[in-house]
Amino acid sequence: MLLELDHVAYTYTTRNQNVAALKDATASFAAGGLYAIVGKSGSGKSTLLSLIAGLMLPTSGEVRYDGAATAAMDLNRYRRDLVTVIYQSFNLFPLLTALENVAYPLELKGLKAAAARAEAARHIASVDLAEDLHRRFPDQLSGGERQRVAIARALATGSRLILADEPTGNLDEASGAVVVDILAHLARQQHHTVILVTHDKDIARQADEILLMRDGVLVRNDSPDAPASSG
Ligand SMILES: Nc1ncnc2c1ncn2[C@@H]1O[C@H](COP(=O)(O)OP(=O)(O)O)[C@@H](O)[C@H]1O
Ligand SMILES: [Mg+2]
């Protein structure tokens, strides 16, 4: 298993209260798998992704990548090289072109500008964006095009583990379907592990496994329509 959650809990501690956002979650994610996490707003989906992304550490339990607990890792390296996150709001750099957005993580890894651009162009082509879009800025692209640039940037990080928090949340149905097709292709043809949070049952249905979050509890679920069984 590429990724394991072993009795993971997370409690936000604020001035007035503690919020047990995640309670005792255990799950495993295989290389090349496409996973959907579904559940109501506030059920703990983003908290779960943040723990997997190494943006925070569990209050108890372990998140293990390739057998190593995030709590024992160099988290900066983990976040830079091993895991990448795609957001509903795209999070592209507004003052960089599409190509420069994708080249950025490559330059962070030490590639010279020309080499970074050449590799970035390959990643952009792999998400089916035409070359005349390379020089556009994010606000000159449609939502679906922006999200594909974000996926290309995720690929440029070289991470095998791709997390996506409502990646189609700001897209119309057709552009959303394209984005999900690309993510499914990355899992099935390129052996990435893709974990995506979604409200959309049609999208969840395409996953190899659906995980349901309910009030901080992670329940395995076979069907996006059925309530989770207790077995
Ligand atoms: N930074 C925070 N501080 C305190 N509580 C938080 C924080 N972030 C999220 N929560 C709470 O944790 C619970 C789970 O939130 P979240 O993981 O964002 O759910 P989802 O992504 O499923 O909507 C909610 O009750 C939310 O209010
Ligand atoms: Mg959320």
User: pLDDT at residue 231 above 60?
Assistant: no
Distances (CA, A) of 165 to 50, 85, 86: 10, 8, 6
User: pLDDT at residue 226 above 60?
Assistant: no
Query: Can you give the pLDDT at residue 66?
Result: 96
Ligand with an atom nearest the CA of residue 211: 1
AA identity, residue 21? A
**124: helix, strand or coil:** helix
Give me the domains of the chain, ranges plus CATH numbers.
Answer: 32-54+74-221 (3.40.50.300)
Assess whether the C-beta atom of 39 lies below 6 angstroms from ligand 1.
yes
Contacts of 140 (CB under 8 A, 6+ apart): none
Q: What is the band of 224 on the pLDDT scale with cuts at 50, 70, 90? A: low
Assess whether the C-beta atom of 21 lies below 6 angstroms from ligand 1.
yes
Angle between helices 143-156 and 113-126 (to 10 degrees): 130
Separation of 152 CA from ligand 1 center, angstroms?
28
Neighbour tally for 68: CB within 10 Å: 13
**Cα–Cα nearest to 106, from 74, 80, 71:** 80
Q: What is the band of 230 on the pLDDT scale with cuts at 50, 70, 90? A: very low
Assess whether the C-beta atom of 42 lies below 6 angstroms from ligand 1.
yes
Contact (CB, 8 A) for 123 and 155: yes
Tens digits of per-residue pLDDT, 29-78?
999 999 999 999 999 999 999 999 999 999 999 999 999 999 999 999 99
For ligand 1, atom 5, the nearest C-alpha belongs to: 12
User: CA–CA separation, 113 vs 71, rounded Å?
Assistant: 34
Tens digits of per-residue pLDDT, 137-193?
999 999 999 999 999 999 999 999 999 999 999 999 999 999 999 999 999 999 999
Assess whether the C-beta atom of 148 lies below 6 angstroms from ligand 1.
no
For ligand 1, atom 13, the nearest C-alpha belongs to: 21
Separation of 160 CA from ligand 1 center, angstroms?
26
For strand 60-65 and strand 3-13, is the pairing parallel, antiparallel, or unpaired?
Answer: antiparallel
pTM: 0.93
- Counting ligand 1 atoms within 8 A of each CB, the residue from 8, 12, 15 with the most, and so the one to mutate, is 12
Going edge to edge, which strands form the sheet with 209-214? Answer: 83-87, 161-165, 193-197, 34-38, 209-214, 217-221
Neighbour tally for 104: CB within 10 Å: 18
User: CA–CA separation, 54 vs 58, rounded Å?
Assistant: 9
Separation of 131 CA from ligand 2 center, angstroms?
33
Query: Can you give the pLDDT at residue 76?
Result: 94
